[in-house]
A and B are shown apart, each in its own frame.
Chain A
Amino acid sequence: MVEHMDVLDEHEIFSESMSLALDGMLADAEQAAFDQHLAACEPCRTRWLKWQRISDVLWVEPFAGPAPGFALRVDDLVQREQRRKERILGGVVLVGGTVSIWMVAALSVAITVLVGLAIAPGARWQIAEYLGFGSQAVAVVVRSVTALRDSLLTMPGPGGLVAALCVLVALMALWVWLVFWNNSQQAVAAGENGRNVR
């Protein structure tokens, strides 16, 4: 039994050497031992011949090539990927820009309201200039916001705020529709075109 196990182990080791021998990975001494075992062991010799046949067939198998136009199809995919990235980047810039503008506007409103409420109406423009809002453009914004504040203050309290909020929400919804809905429709159309091409 022990002898049998030894023989099995020897064959097992030989099997590993066969794989290395097929790839020319055996050192000289290992190759010599390999050849010696091969000459003496009939089952291993048979197995070696079969492995060699399989190996020979695999070596001569030709490369499989893609259908013509493969590079163009990949280019189409890459182009769509580029567009997708540009849309995402554009969206991020648009969202960031819009949020910034809205924050500046809200800050302007808050400052103007606070200043307007705290200080006499005649001094508001000088104060605005001291705070760094001296340009004509900002003055126009402040004036508009002040007018808006005045109109809101004249309306019934909660009703005026709700109306203003509704206008803001409507504007934001319009913006979201313009940015995302249109883009997604274009993406769907581009995807269908791509599939048709393929």
Chain B
Amino acid sequence: MSNTENEELRWIEAARRGDRNAFSKLVQAYQLPVYNLTYRMLGNPQEAEDAAQEAFLRAYKRLNTYQPGRKFSNWILSIASHHCIDLLRRRRFVWLSVEDNPAVSWLASDDEQPDDAAVRSERAEEVRSMLQHLAPEYRAPLILRYWHDLSYKEIAEVLELSEPAVKTRLHRARLKLAALLEEQSTAASRKAKPASSPAPQPGGRLSTLVRSAGLAA
């Protein structure tokens, strides 16, 4: 066991005895991954802040249930991800128009795109907005994989799933993300070429409505 892990265990033991300073050190150590997870899950800074705070408070209340053999980071991420999934499930229907999102020109072409900072930033923003269209069950493993660099086993531990379930969810998440970006790209192309577009149908514009939860089906 490394010195860091030993020190962490000491903080946990002290926090269990009611030492707030020790718990504060744990918060400082894990605030970034926990906040990042809640932010990527919820897509809103204020909601992410509240959810991260709630995750730490729940961790504090449940410190006695923490098993020292488990990685504390995975334990706290598990609490945060379950809280976010609960929050997202409680949200009412969210209808989003794919056409309302920014164009995804970089996917429309198979050619190599310039890789400067502005383009990267634009792509990142587009993919971030697309993440919000994924069902929470698919979003969580994707975030844990890409941002937290967790293995399939660790993701399974955090989300309390089996490893095959993690494989399946990651696969479906990528499928849906790619399909969604493809759809968005097609919609953007139609907007860019109004002359060649079909006339709008009575009753309004094309409404390729994507319901967040509906993507899970």
Contacts and interface: CB of A to CB of B under 8 A. Distances in A.
Interface of A: 15-16, 18-20, 22-23, 25, 46-47, 49-51, 53-55, 57-61, 63-67, 70-71, 73-75, 77-79, 81-82
B53 A61 contact: no
Given A15-B171, A50-B178, A82-B20, A63 B127 contact: no
Given A19-B167, A25-B152, A71-B24, 6 more contacts: A53-B107, A54-B127, A58-B142, A70-B52, A74-B57, A79-B20
Given A49-B110, A51-B178, A79-B20, A67 B49 contact: yes
Interface in B79-121: 106-107, 110, 120
Contacts of B167: 16, 19-20, 25
A70 B31 contact: yes
Contacts of A50: 107, 178, 181-182
29 contacts: A16-B167, A16-B171, A18-B174, A19-B167, A22-B174, A47-B178, A50-B178, A51-B178, A53-B107, A57-B120, A60-B124, A64-B35, A64-B36, A64-B39, A64-B40, A64-B45, A64-B48, A65-B31, A66-B48, A70-B35, A70-B49, A70-B52, A70-B53, A71-B27, A75-B20, A75-B24, A77-B56, A78-B24, A81-B61
Contacts of A75: 20, 23-24, 27
**Contact residues of A: prevailing secondary structure:** helix
**What is the size category of the interface that chain B forms with chain A?**
35 or more
B57 A57 contact: no
Contacts of A73: 53
Given A61-B128, A64-B48, A71 B175 contact: no
A63 B148 CA distance: 9
B177 A54 contact: yes
Contacts of A25: 152, 167
Contacts of B152: 23, 25
Contacts of B40: 64
Contacts of A58: 127, 142, 146-147
A66 B53 CA distance: 10
Contacts of A57: 120, 123-124, 127
A63 B178 contact: no
B35 A77 contact: no
Given A59-B146, A81-B60, A65 B175 contact: no
Contacts of B174: 18-19, 22, 51, 54-55
B4 interface: no
Contacts of B49: 66-67, 70
A66 B170 contact: no
